[in-house]
Amino acid sequence: MKKQASSRTCFVCGRQNDISLKMNWYEDHESQQVRATVTVPEHFNGYPGVVHGGIVTAILDETSGRAVMLKSGQDALMVALKLEVLFRRPTPTGTPLTATGRVIKQSANRAQVAGEIRLPDGSLTAECKAVVVRPPPEIMDSWEAEKPFWKVYDD
């Protein structure tokens, strides 16, 4: 599977961000999904042993949005316009989690995407549906300085 690019400062994937989850996503073209694994440390809990809902939401936002890169390439960055999260059961800290994202429908400037987080036994902890859009030109222009750092990093 092809590894996707990461940034240096992102909260979820940033390689030079000390508090980042440092997640890596891989493209599974056969299933038309992106996939990542992460073990969320206890300092991101809401209650002891349970990942804070905002962290769960951030993982789903990033994972579902990255699915558009399957067809459109590594520079097809979009941002969430609408994100609906369903929490199915508490997501535990200190446990390997698998996050997957897929495209439901995609055009050049907009996509409907979905994501989910599962436990090692396959149990679903949370899922989302989202609408992501291409950012306006002024936002895209402000990202130019970071482009050299948007790349596939060694593990």
Average pLDDT across the chain, whole number: 95
Share of the chain above pLDDT 90, in %: 84
Q: How many domains does the chain have?
A: 1
**pLDDT value for 107:** 93
CA distances, 67 to each of 4, 28, 29, 44 (Å): 10, 10, 10, 25
Question: Is 100 inside any structural domain?
Answer: yes
Cα 58 to Cα 115: distance, rounded to the nearest angstrom: 11
What does the DSSP assignment read for 67-114? TTHHHH-TT---EEEEEEEEE-SPPBTTSEEEEEEEEEEE-SSEEEEE
Q: CA gyration radius for the chain? A: 15
**pLDDT value for 108:** 87
**pLDDT value for 4:** 95
Question: Is 69 inside any structural domain?
Answer: yes
Q: Can you give the pTM of this predicted structure? A: 0.95
What backbone torsions phi and psi does residue 100 show, to the nearest 5 degrees?
-130, 150
Cα 69 to Cα 103: distance, rounded to the nearest angstrom: 10
Burial class (CB in 10 A: 0-12, 13-18, 19+), 38: buried
Range of the domain at 79: 2-139
What is the per-residue pLDDT across 13-54, written as a single tens digit (0 to 9) for each?
999 999 999 999 999 999 999 999 999 999 999 999 999 999
pLDDT band, very low/low/confident/very high, at 9 (cuts 50, 70, 90): very high
What backbone torsions phi and psi does residue 65 show, to the nearest 5 degrees?
-65, -30
- β-strand pairing of 96-106 with 33-39: antiparallel
What is the per-residue pLDDT across 123-145, written as a single tens digit (0 to 9) for each?
999 999 999 999 998 988 888 88
CATH number of domain containing 132: 3.10.129.10
Question: Is 12 inside any structural domain?
Answer: yes
Question: Is 153 inside any structural domain?
Answer: no
Question: Is 147 inside any structural domain?
Answer: no
